[in-house]
Chain A
Amino acid sequence: MPSALARKSLRDLSRRRARTVFTVLTIALGVAGMSMLAVSDLADRGMREQIESARMYNVNIHVTDVDLDGTNMRELGAIANVKAVDARATIWTRMYIGERRAYVILVGVEDFGHQTLDVITRESGDLPGPMEALTEEANARNGVYGGREGDAARVIARNGTVVEIGITGTARSLVYAPDTYDGIVVLYCGIQTVRAVGNVSGYTSLSFQLGDQSKAAVDRTVEDVRDYLTAHTSVVAFDQLPLLRVGYDWPQKEVFNNILESLAILTVIILLASAFLISNTMNTIISEQRREIGQMKAIGATSRQVFTSFLTTSFVIGAIGAAVGAVLGVLISYEVLVTFSRPFGMSFGFMVDVPMVALSLVVGVGIVLLASMPALVRSARVSVREALESSGISASYGEGAFDRLLMRGKGLPRTVQMGVRNVARKKGRSLATLLQITLAVALFMGMLSLAKAVAVATDEAWAPRTFDIRVEGTVPAELVDDIAAMDGVSTVDPYVTAKALIGTHGVEIWGYSPDTRAWDYRSTMSAGRWFTAEENRTNASVMVVGTALASLEGIGVGDRVHVMLATGDALVEVVGLQDSFMDMGQSVLMPVGSLQHLLRDPSNSGVFIQTTTKDRGVIDRLSVNLEDFMLARGVTVGIMIHYVSQAQDKASNNGTVMIFLFVSMLVVLICMIGLMSTLTMNVLDRTKEIGMLRCIGARARDIRRVFSTEGLFLALVGWGVGLPLGGLIGFFLQAQVKETMRMMLPVYYAWAFVPWAFLVTVVGTLLVIQVPMLRATRFRPGDALRYQ
């Protein structure tokens, strides 16, 4: 049987049910926010199992069609440090989805029943026979291709003919599914099907599992493999830089974790906002019960017993809030995991991060106790006389300069004057409320500033790209002039592109003609110069790099920098810097001839086309004509339309911002609950006053005006303080995104949204104070005057 004191502590919770519910809800949201920290571990745990069962590669090498026999495979497998090797024929081509065309990767597997590495798991249907395929599950999930068992995919073969590949079921693979995130269809076929469609006779992709996965060991093994292939097969060079994966890493892990790390700071803000509200609530509970504290002490309670009584109340609130929050957190963390991992082709069963749940409970209860501590200490210090004389309403109004300041504005209606002056009656509570509103406004402005910065960066990244269509895929030199002669074409500009490593940074190198019309280099150069026609003609090793990359790698104009290409290492001189958002500020541009020389390949990677008009209908039609023109000449190419890709890029960047927005909204929600709670407390504190106002003739609207003035006053001050703070939060978030997403961002403050923030603050405040105001105006004077 609990003591009477313990029972009082518990029953105190039911005396103001609404307040208890608000407080528990706030703690729960704060604790639930912590679950974000669990997502990364959950993903790691889930991926660890999947990586083991999929036997994922450590090194994946792409080569141009190479014939490998059993001896070659054995010898490759016998290279030092190689534990296992597998070869596949994988081709990129185009397919029809309805009337439009999309990229497709056909992955050719020798024997689905005996896959050594990068296991593709059949999920439904039958294994594919000749001219049949399994469709990657993520195709449908990412809205790339919705074909099902029994359908036929219309794929454009390398010879330009359209072939039908029957879909026999679904499958999934950790290696290939992430491509669907970029809008590429993935189909798994028997190797003969891929060879027939792709016009290849051997293999194009080699996967290796290694023993020692240190960088030095991996580099050495890659070089051994390169040496073996160039010495014993038709391979001259790798097609792309080898893909590397260490331990239990997985593709996109860094991006995934970076996003989650950025959310951690918001989790802290959520907890702080909760702590404000809890501290506020405990202060209110104790000031309401000053008289009872006096009564307890008068009948023999020690300060310690009073302290323990309220400590029990806070502990129970904290425990319930933390428990609800932990359950909510488990659900949120799983939902976030599933939502954000889905585009990367991962699928997880329900998982719970038990240590994080335990930590949430401890932190939840701990933060409540800490936030309550000042109020608890004060409660224990209250003397009997002081407590018994307390009327529950501050009678010391008017003692400070701030109180006197608020007494100005004599011309205002009396109810408005009362509302404004009421702000100073419970200064601590008003300050806590003000901080919450400030935080909400600041986050709102910070998020909008981030969103605007991302939008500006996206626009700026695309602005200097002055082409309308990009043809992706080698265009034979003789066809370039034919394209230039097509209706609607203004200019044609061949380009070359290749992946490379500069220092530790993976970059995309672009080879442009010196007088290119596809890139407005004049508007972007910030130092040095653009390369010359002479440098292009003589294959000079020169390049222009983005300022973000220059700053990351400490590169300046005149420096000679090591550039690691698929063909090996090259020393290239930096002749200029460009301040553009292209490739997130990490662009690398070279003369097209120089890059072709370094790649030992005179062909282009595609052409940029400027059209004679910006009419989207004309551009769309020309894009189809171009692809048909190339297909008719046996050349499969991809088509990128500038305005379409720009829109997709914007949508993708907005997705990142949405994640931040989601978490920030949690904080705003907590702040709004805080405001509602404070005003509810004010109404309860002043119930007798409401009764008095009624007694001397105040109508419901007069009472509403008193309380709404108080709420709006706090909201407007919060808005005013929140605006500059929002700038700081915005800059912080922009720095976070810049760092974690490796994205170049302008420093931006959302000035245009200042009036919007005003509107949202005022409307939000007016909405949340409706509940307490309704309560205030429903009191009958008799009930109000009797209220204790």
Chain B
Amino acid sequence: MAARLIELRKVDKEYTTGKLSYHALKEVDLDLDEGELAAIVGPSGCGKSTLLNMVTGIDRPTSGTVTVAGERIDTMKEDALASWRGRNLGIIFQFFQLFPTLTALENAMLPMDFARRGTIAEREETAKRNLALVGLAEKLGNLPSELSGGEQQRVAIARSLANDPKLIIGDEPTGNLDSKTEERMFDIIKTLSEQGKTVVYVTHSAALAQRAGRRIRMLDGKIVEG
């Protein structure tokens, strides 16, 4: 039986802006095991991204607990959380979020630099391997401005693999790509899952959701299915 990787208990998240408050998550419980490939789906504003932000520690719950890989991340201090994230998570965003002044290779090495993982040469070796894995072995020295959208997203995937995390999180990872490129991206994600990584992603694409091992459907801040 696979070990439990993610455990959310009675997670509430309320955003307050001026006089307005918005209840994004309402007493959400969620368990995910190692090796699962899960898609979070639902209409806009239902709390999908907020739920991912709870799992990555990007946001903190208003109440409830978040345990990932056996650690209570909702109580961690910001710096400790950043280091934890660097070591344990790989995140892929819809808009790639690459650093424009760093080359593809440097972007893919950056999380290892922060985690001080191995020697510089070892980091470079790992980054090259990850870029080769996503088919970008020829474009190591290119800046983001010299890459297409699909290529940039592949660099983002290579970057997410930098510290060999157990968990890969994707916030609409193919949302900004054409259907052909989307297909290729998902193949890479699928491969990672098959290699034993736990992959959780948010998507609006019904086709992409269908290909997940588990679909978590959300509505009005609650998990209604999965």
Using CB atoms and an 8 Å cutoff, list the residues of chain A in contact with chain B.
391, 393-399, 403, 407, 413-415, 417-418, 421-422, 424-425, 688-689, 691-700, 702, 780-782, 785
Query: Using Cβ atoms and an 8 Å threshold, which residues of chain B touch A696?
Result: 85-86, 91, 110-111, 114, 159, 162
Q: Select from chain B the residue with minimum beta-carbon distance to A782.
A: B59
Does B101 contact A422, Cβ atoms closer than 8 Å? yes
Which residues from 83 to 124 on chain B have a C-beta closer than 8 Å to any C-beta of chain A?
Answer: 83, 85-87, 91, 93, 95, 97, 99-103, 106, 109-111, 113-115
A394 to B143, CA, bound (A): 12
Cβ of B145 within 8 Å of any chain A Cβ, yes or no, is yes
Query: Using Cβ atoms and an 8 Å threshold, which residues of chain B touch A688?
Result: 97
Q: A399 is contacted by which of B85, B145, B163 (Cβ under 8 Å)?
A: B145
Q: B145 is contacted by which of A397, A422, A699 (Cβ under 8 Å)?
A: A397
Least CB distance, A688 to chain B, in whole angstroms:
7
Does A781 contact B114, Cβ atoms closer than 8 Å? no
The 5 A-B pairs of least Cβ separation, nearest first, read A697-B86, A421-B101, A782-B59, A398-B143, A697-B114
Known: A695-B56, A697-B83. A689 touches B113 (CB 8 A): no
Query: Using Cβ atoms and an 8 Å threshold, which residues of chain B touch A781?
Result: 57-59, 82
Contact with A along B136-172 (1 / 0, CB 8 A): 0000000111100000000000010011000000000
Known: A781-B58, A782-B59. A394 touches B114 (CB 8 A): no
Known: A395-B144, A397-B143, A696-B85. 12 other contacts (CB 8 A): A391-B95, A396-B145, A397-B100, A397-B101, A398-B146, A415-B113, A689-B97, A694-B82, A695-B56, A697-B115, A698-B86, A698-B114
Does B106 contact A414, Cβ atoms closer than 8 Å? yes
Q: Select from chain A the residue with minimum beta-carbon distance to B56.
A: A695
Does A785 contact B79, Cβ atoms closer than 8 Å? no
Cβ of B14 within 8 Å of any chain A Cβ, yes or no, is no
Does A414 contact B109, Cβ atoms closer than 8 Å? yes
Known: A688-B97, A782-B58. A699 touches B143 (CB 8 A): no
A224 to B65, CA, bound (A): 106
A694 to B77, CA, bound (A): 12
Least CB distance, A727 to chain B, in whole angstroms:
34
A699 to B80, CA, bound (A): 8
Size of the B side of the interface (Cβ < 8 Å), in residues, is 36
Does A695 contact B58, Cβ atoms closer than 8 Å? yes
Using CB atoms and an 8 Å cutoff, list the residues of chain B in contact with chain A.
53, 56-60, 78-79, 82-83, 85-87, 91, 93, 95, 97, 99-103, 106, 109-111, 113-115, 143-146, 159, 162-163
Known: A394-B100, A697-B87. A414 touches B110 (CB 8 A): yes
Least CB distance, B166 to chain A, in whole angstroms:
15
Query: Using Cβ atoms and an 8 Å threshold, which residues of chain B touch A403?
Result: 101
**Interface hub of B86, B87, B100 (most chain A Cβ within 10 A):** B100
Least CB distance, A705 to chain B, in whole angstroms:
11
A391 to B143, CA, bound (A): 17
Query: Using Cβ atoms and an 8 Å threshold, which residues of chain A touch B114?
Result: 693, 696-699, 702
Does A425 contact B111, Cβ atoms closer than 8 Å? no
Query: Using Cβ atoms and an 8 Å threshold, which residues of chain B touch A425?
Result: 100-101
A-B contact pairs, 8 of them (CB 8 A): A398-B100, A403-B101, A689-B99, A691-B58, A696-B110, A696-B111, A697-B87, A785-B58
Q: B82 is contacted by which of A398, A413, A699 (Cβ under 8 Å)?
A: A699
Query: Using Cβ atoms and an 8 Å threshold, which residues of chain A touch B56?
Result: 695
Least CB distance, B102 to chain A, in whole angstroms:
7
Query: Using Cβ atoms and an 8 Å threshold, which residues of chain B touch A694?
Result: 58, 78, 82, 85
Least CB distance, B152 to chain A, in whole angstroms:
10
Q: Select from chain B the residue with minimum beta-carbon distance to A696.
A: B111
Does A697 contact B79, Cβ atoms closer than 8 Å? no
Q: Select from chain B the residue with minimum beta-carbon distance to A413.
A: B113
Query: Using Cβ atoms and an 8 Å threshold, which residues of chain B touch A782?
Result: 53, 58-60
A418 to B53, CA, bound (A): 26
Query: Using Cβ atoms and an 8 Å threshold, which residues of chain B touch A698?
Result: 82, 86, 114
Q: B111 is contacted by which of A397, A418, A697 (Cβ under 8 Å)?
A: A697
A785 to B56, CA, bound (A): 13
Least CB distance, A277 to chain B, in whole angstroms:
25
Q: Select from chain A the residue with minimum beta-carbon distance to B84.
A: A697
Q: Select from chain B the residue with minimum beta-carbon distance to A700.
A: B79
Least CB distance, A395 to chain B, in whole angstroms:
5
Query: Using Cβ atoms and an 8 Å threshold, which residues of chain A touch B163?
Result: 697
A688 to B60, CA, bound (A): 18
Least CB distance, A429 to chain B, in whole angstroms:
15
Does B145 contact A395, Cβ atoms closer than 8 Å? yes
Query: Using Cβ atoms and an 8 Å threshold, which residues of chain A touch B159?
Result: 696
Known: A414-B113, A697-B111, A699-B114. A692 touches B97 (CB 8 A): yes
Least CB distance, B37 to chain A, in whole angstroms:
21
A694 to B159, CA, bound (A): 14
**Interface hub of A689, A691, A697, A781 (most chain B Cβ within 10 A):** A697
A699 to B115, CA, bound (A): 10
Least CB distance, B3 to chain A, in whole angstroms:
23
Q: A695 is contacted by which of B85, B106, B144 (Cβ under 8 Å)?
A: B85
Query: Using Cβ atoms and an 8 Å threshold, which residues of chain A touch B97?
Result: 688-689, 692
Query: Using Cβ atoms and an 8 Å threshold, which residues of chain A touch B144?
Result: 395
Does A417 contact B106, Cβ atoms closer than 8 Å? yes
Query: Using Cβ atoms and an 8 Å threshold, which residues of chain B touch A700?
Result: 78-79, 82
Does B99 contact A418, Cβ atoms closer than 8 Å? yes
Q: Select from chain B the residue with minimum beta-carbon distance to A406.
A: B101
Query: Using Cβ atoms and an 8 Å threshold, which residues of chain B touch A785?
Result: 58
A70 to B79, CA, bound (A): 96
Known: A393-B100, A397-B100, A418-B99. A697 touches B82 (CB 8 A): yes
Q: Select from chain A the residue with minimum beta-carbon distance to B114.
A: A697
A702 to B83, CA, bound (A): 11
A394 to B95, CA, bound (A): 14
Query: Using Cβ atoms and an 8 Å threshold, which residues of chain A touch B102?
Result: 414, 417-418, 421
Q: B78 is contacted by which of A422, A697, A780 (Cβ under 8 Å)?
A: A780
Q: Select from chain B the residue with minimum beta-carbon distance to A703.
A: B82
A415 to B111, CA, bound (A): 11
A103 to B110, CA, bound (A): 77
Least CB distance, A398 to chain B, in whole angstroms:
4
Q: Select from chain A the residue with minimum beta-carbon distance to B59.
A: A782
Query: Using Cβ atoms and an 8 Å threshold, which residues of chain A touch B93?
Result: 692
A399 to B97, CA, bound (A): 19
A699 to B77, CA, bound (A): 11
Q: Select from chain A the residue with minimum beta-carbon distance to B141.
A: A407
Q: Select from chain A the residue with minimum beta-carbon distance to B109.
A: A414
Q: A699 is contacted by which of B79, B87, B111 (Cβ under 8 Å)?
A: B79
A695 to B100, CA, bound (A): 16
Query: Using Cβ atoms and an 8 Å threshold, which residues of chain B touch A695?
Result: 56, 58, 85, 91
Least CB distance, A410 to chain B, in whole angstroms:
9
Least CB distance, B50 to chain A, in whole angstroms:
9
Q: Select from chain B the residue with minimum beta-carbon distance to A414.
A: B113
A395 to B143, CA, bound (A): 10
Does B145 contact A398, Cβ atoms closer than 8 Å? yes
Least CB distance, A651 to chain B, in whole angstroms:
53
A393 to B97, CA, bound (A): 11
A695 to B57, CA, bound (A): 9
A424 to B100, CA, bound (A): 11
Least CB distance, A682 to chain B, in whole angstroms:
13
**Interface hub of A398, A425, A695, A782 (most chain B Cβ within 10 A):** A695
Query: Using Cβ atoms and an 8 Å threshold, which residues of chain A touch B162?
Result: 696
A693 to B83, CA, bound (A): 11
Query: Using Cβ atoms and an 8 Å threshold, which residues of chain B touch A393?
Result: 100
Query: Using Cβ atoms and an 8 Å threshold, which residues of chain B touch A689?
Result: 97, 99
Least CB distance, B109 to chain A, in whole angstroms:
7
Query: Using Cβ atoms and an 8 Å threshold, which residues of chain B touch A417?
Result: 101-102, 106
**Interface hub of B56, B57, B113 (most chain A Cβ within 10 A):** B113
Q: A418 is contacted by which of B57, B60, B101 (Cβ under 8 Å)?
A: B101
